[in-house]
Amino acid sequence: MGVSTSPKHTLPSRIELENQIGSRTTQTAVIQESLRLSTAIPGNLPRLIPPQGATVNGIFYPAVLTSVSLANRIMHNNAVVFPSPQTFDPDRWLGSQQRESEKWQFSFSKGPHRCIGMNLAYLGMYLCLATFFARFDMELFETDEATMDWVDHGITCLKSTVKVMAIIH
């Protein structure tokens, strides 16, 4: 889950979430933004060029053992597509920004290579998030902005551990 110490973008309270049962808008925005910030696929997603070749950004690539790839983290950190990419901002998945954000959401890949378990994964995220917020109050514990810095060692990972204290109701 994405974490923010910014007062503008705090997670909704348990009562706010309970009031939104039947409307998954806020929950969906939180899940999409969390997926954008936490890369499930740590490296590149290589694709072979089709037999007829392919043109990408005006450059023709022949099919002779040519592959192209893109790391999700690079796309999800693109400031042109996602302004202030290091900021946890679920609002980018709401209103007029929603369609453009969804166009560039690569957490489960795209097209014929899309994860076949995507819908099951979303179901699990919705159920876990709703259950967690219904049963616990949360607060950051020994965690600050520096905790969320990324390190790239061929795969992306956090520099340190994010800690959250859950308090049972």
Q: In this predicted model, which residue has the larger pLDDT, 26 or 6? A: 26
Total residue length of the chain: 169
Mean pLDDT (whole number) for 67-90: 84
- Judge whether residue 83 has pLDDT over 70: yes
* Crossing angle for the helix pair 118-135 and 25-37, to the nearest 10 degrees: 110
The C-alpha atoms of residue 48 and residue 64 are separated, in whole angstroms, by 9
3-class DSSP state for residue 64?
Answer: coil
- Judge whether residue 122 has pLDDT over 50: yes
Res 151: pLDDT: 64
Q: Per mean pLDDT, which range of 72-76, 133-137, 147-151 is the poorest?
A: 147-151
**123 CB contacts (<8 Å, ≥6 apart)?**
none
The C-alpha atoms of residue 165 and residue 56 are separated, in whole angstroms, by 47
Mean pLDDT (whole number) for 62-67: 76
Q: In this predicted model, which residue has the larger pLDDT, 65 or 166? A: 166
Task: Enumerate the H helices of the chain as residue ranges.
Answer: 14-19, 25-37, 72-76, 98-103, 118-135
pLDDT tier at 14, thresholds 50, 70, 90 = low
- Judge whether residue 5 has pLDDT over 60: no
The C-alpha atoms of residue 142 and residue 80 are separated, in whole angstroms, by 32
- Judge whether residue 152 has pLDDT over 70: no
Res 159: pLDDT: 66
Res 94: pLDDT: 87
- Judge whether residue 4 has pLDDT over 50: no
Q: In this predicted model, which residue has the larger pLDDT, 22 or 49? A: 49
pLDDT tier at 110, thresholds 50, 70, 90 = confident
Note whether 79 and 86 are within 8 A (CB).
no
Average model confidence (pLDDT) across the chain: 77
**32 CB contacts (<8 Å, ≥6 apart)?**
90, 93, 101, 102, 105
